[in-house]
Amino acid sequence: MGRIHLLDEAVIHKIAAGEVVQRPASVLKELMENSLDAGARRIILRLEKMGKRLLEVEDDGCGMSRSDALLCIERHATSKILSAEDIHRVSTLGFRGEALPSIAAVSRMTIRTRRPEDAAGTEITLEGGKIRQVRDCGMSPGTVVSVRTLFYNTPARRRFLKSDRTEGFHLFRVLHALSLVNLPVQMEVIQERKRVLALPVVEEVGDRLTQIWPDIQDQPMVPVDGQFNGARLWGLIAVPPFVRNRGRGIFFSLNRRWITDRKILRAVLSAYRSVAPKGYIPDGVLCLDLPPGLVDVNVHPSKFEVRLTQEYEILGWLQKAIASALSVHPNPVQEVLGERYQPPNPSLRFSSARYVTKKDRRGQGEDFLNRLVPQVLEAPLESYGTREDLDGASQVKRAGHEPEGIPRDYRILGVVVNTYVVAAYGGGIFIVDKHAAHERLIFERLKRHYGHSVPSQRCLLPAVVSIDAAEAEIYRLSNPLLRKMGIVLEPFGEGTLRVTSLPEWVNQEEAESLVRELFQEFSETPTMEGLSNRVDGFLATIACHAASRGQDEVSVPEAYSLLDQVIREGIPLACPHGRPFVHFLTIRELEKIFAR
C-alpha cells in the first residue's frame, strides 16, 4: 500500500478552517463582510465571553432562500463569481465561498435567514460542519448567524485563545475598521446582554471617529482627498506633532475592504518621514478606491493583503497625496486667530483645512503658538537689545530685556549650551532645539525652491572630491537632480570633481562632506526614477549640513530671529527627520514639579 492517501472530508474542513479562522475576530470579520455584501443597513453583534461562548451577527440584508441557505455551507459555493476571469474584477468583500463552511467545521452554528418575499424563514443547525436540523422559522427579513463554542472540537486550537480582554481588543478592532469605511451602516454591540456600543449612520468619517473615540477631538486631523488615473484616496489623518508610537494607528481600506498590507503602510509612513520621529504611527482613516481590474485580492487567506498591478505608480501617488495634505495644514496661530492672522509675506499664506479638533485647548503645551503675536515685524539686527553673558561654567546666555519695538507674546529667557533656546509665554515656558528648528526652516525653503530657483552661491575656493568608478556612475545619473537642488559639480581631471555652487544656506566648508553623504544615499537607489521619489530625504541631508550646529555660538537676537521665522512661516514643529524641536512646560506642569 502506498504512503500517500487522500484526506477525509472532516480533516479537509478543519485544515481550511485553520487558514480562515484564527480567533473570534476572524469569525466576526467574515460574517460582517457577508452582511455588508448582502446590502445590510443595520448590523447587530452579540457576544458572550468575547466570542468564545457566543458570537452572533444579525443583519437586515437581502436574506437567502432555503436552497441558497443549504448551499452556502458547502465549500466553494458563492454568488459573487462565475468564472476565473471574475476573480480579477471582484467588487464584493467575499467571493471564495470558504468562510461559512470553515467556521461551521470548528463550532456549533445556527443560520436563520429570510428574504422579504418569503412567508417564512429557514433555520439550519450545524455541529462540526454537519447538518443536524433544517426547519422553517419566523423572523424579519435578513440573516442571523450564531456561532457557539468556537473550537469545541479542536481543543489544541481552543487552548491558544487569549484572555477575554485580548480577544475583545481584536474583536472591536475589526468592528471599528469596518464601521469606519461603511458610514451608511448602523452598528450595535450587545455584550453579555447589555448594549455597550451604538454607532448610528453618519455622513462624515470624522463623525464616526468621534463616535468610536470621543477623545479623538483633542487631536487635530487633516482631510486627505486626491485622485489619480481613476483612483481616489480620501480620509482623515493626524497632524504632526500629534502622532504617537502606541496609538490606534491607521485604518486603511481598499475598495471598502479593510487591509493591513505592509507595502501600503510603508508608503503611508514615508509621507510622515520628515514630520514625525521614526517608529511613530499616526492615527487616521484612509480609504483607497481603485478600479477592480487594478487589484488582485486573491493573495491572502483572510484577504488582508493585496497585489496592485501598477504598484509603483499607485504607492508613489499615495505617498505624495498624504504628504501634500500634511503640507497645507494651517499653523496653530491661524487655527485660533483665523482671519486676524496675516503673515507679513504674502507668498507664505496658508491653505485652509477642516479639522476634527477640540476648540478649547487651554492649559496644553502646544497652545503656546496660539498665544503668540498675530504678526511678527521685520526689524534690523541693530534694533535688538544687548546680550549679557554669564561666566563660562554656566554656559547660559540671558537676555537683559526684550528687544524694543518688536511686539511679541513671548520672551526669550536665555540660550543653554548654545543649543536650547528657553522662552516664556503666558501659559508657561517652552524650549526650542535651535539646530533642529533651523534645519526645518532651511528644509522648507529648499522644498519651496526645488527644481526651478534654489538660491545658490558660487564657491570662491571650489572643494575637490575624489571619486571611484562607481561614484562616477552615480554622478552621471544624479547630476540633473543635484542641479535642481542647487549643487553644481564639474569634472576636474581623472577621478575628481569640483564643487562650484551650493545652496546659499550651506557653508562652503561643508561641500565635500555633503557631496559624499549624498553620493552614499544615491548609491542605495540605482535609477533616476527612484532618486526622484526620495528628493525630500536628500533635501533633509542638505538642510542638516546647512543648519547651525549645537556647538555654534548663538546670541539672543539671533534666537529671537529664529523663533520669529518659525512662527511666521508656520512650519511643522519637527526637524526633517521627524524629531520634535519644541518642548513645552505649562504652568500647571511646573507647579506639579515643585509640588505646589
Contact 552, 424 (CB under 8 A): no
Q: What is the pLDDT of residue 96?
A: 59
For strands 186-191 and 42-48, give the pairing.
parallel
Mean pLDDT of 280-294: 83
Write down the number of H helices and E strands in the chain: 17, 24
Q: What is the pLDDT of residue 6?
A: 67
Least confident residue range of 4-8, 207-211, 305-309: 4-8
Residue 276 buriedness (CB in 10 A; 0-12 / 13-18 / 19+)? buried
Q: What are phi and psi of 213, to 5 degrees?
A: -130, 90
CA distances from 297 to 101, 103, 255, 350 (A): 20, 21, 10, 40
CA distances from 501 to 133, 209, 306, 454, 490 (A): 84, 50, 46, 11, 10
Q: Residues spanned by CATH 3.30.565.10 within the chain?
A: 9-201
Residue 484, CB-side half-sphere exposure with 13 Å CA sphere: 14
Contact 195, 189 (CB under 8 A): yes
Q: What is the pLDDT of residue 243?
A: 53
Contact 93, 36 (CB under 8 A): yes
The highest-level CATH class for domain 206-327 is: alpha beta
Q: Which residue has the higher pLDDT, 54 or 516?
A: 54
Q: What is the pLDDT of residue 12?
A: 63
268: three-class secondary structure by DSSP: helix
Mean pLDDT of 303-328: 80
| Mean pLDDT, rounded, of the chain | 77
Indicate whether 363 pLDDT > 80: no
Question: CA 65, CA 121: separation in Å to the nearest integer?
Answer: 8
Indicate whether 332 pLDDT > 60: no
Which residues have CB under 8 Å from 447's CB, separation 6+? 536, 539
Indicate whether 283 pLDDT > 80: yes
Q: What are phi and psi of 563, to 5 degrees?
A: -65, -35
Which residues have CB under 8 Å from 50's CB, separation 6+? 24, 164, 165, 167, 168, 171, 191
Residue 226 buriedness (CB in 10 A; 0-12 / 13-18 / 19+)? middle
Question: CA 108, CA 596: separation in Å to the nearest integer?
Answer: 61
Domain 361-596 sits in which CATH superfamily? MutL, C-terminal domain, regulatory subdomain (3.30.1370.100)
Q: Which residue has the higher pLDDT, 338 or 208?
A: 208
Q: What is the pLDDT of residue 327?
A: 74
Question: CA 57, CA 27: separation in Å to the nearest integer?
Answer: 10
Least confident residue range of 32-46, 54-68, 473-487: 473-487
Q: What is the pLDDT of residue 145?
A: 96
Grid-cell match 474584477, residue found: 89
Residue 125 buriedness (CB in 10 A; 0-12 / 13-18 / 19+)? middle
**pLDDT tens-digit map of 416-433:** 888 889 988 877 888 999
Indicate whether 358 pLDDT > 50: no
Mean pLDDT of 565-576: 81
Question: CA 487, CA 501: separation in Å to the nearest integer?
Answer: 5
What are the start-end ranges of the H helices in 60-181?
66-71, 99-105, 155-159, 164-180
Q: What are phi and psi of 285, to 5 degrees?
A: -130, 125
Mean pLDDT of 263-291: 81
Domain 9-201 sits in which CATH superfamily? Histidine kinase-like ATPase, C-terminal domain (3.30.565.10)
**pLDDT tens-digit map of 224-276:** 988 888 888 999 988 765 555 445 778 888 888 888 878 888 888 888 877 77
**pLDDT tens-digit map of 511-539:** 888 888 888 888 876 666 667 767 888 88
Q: What is the pLDDT of residue 94?
A: 62
Q: What is the pLDDT of residue 59?
A: 96
Q: What is the pLDDT of residue 91?
A: 63
**pLDDT band at 483; cut points 50, 70, 90:** confident
Q: Residues spanned by CATH 3.30.230.10 within the chain?
A: 206-327
**pLDDT band at 28; cut points 50, 70, 90:** very high
Mean pLDDT of 192-205: 93
Helix (H) or strand (E) holding 110: strand 108-114
**pLDDT tens-digit map of 14-23:** 555 556 788 9
**pLDDT tens-digit map of 182-198:** 999 999 999 999 999 99
Q: What are phi and psi of 434, to 5 degrees?
A: -70, -30
Taking the model in full, what pTM does it have?
Answer: 0.64
Indicate whether 334 pLDDT > 50: no
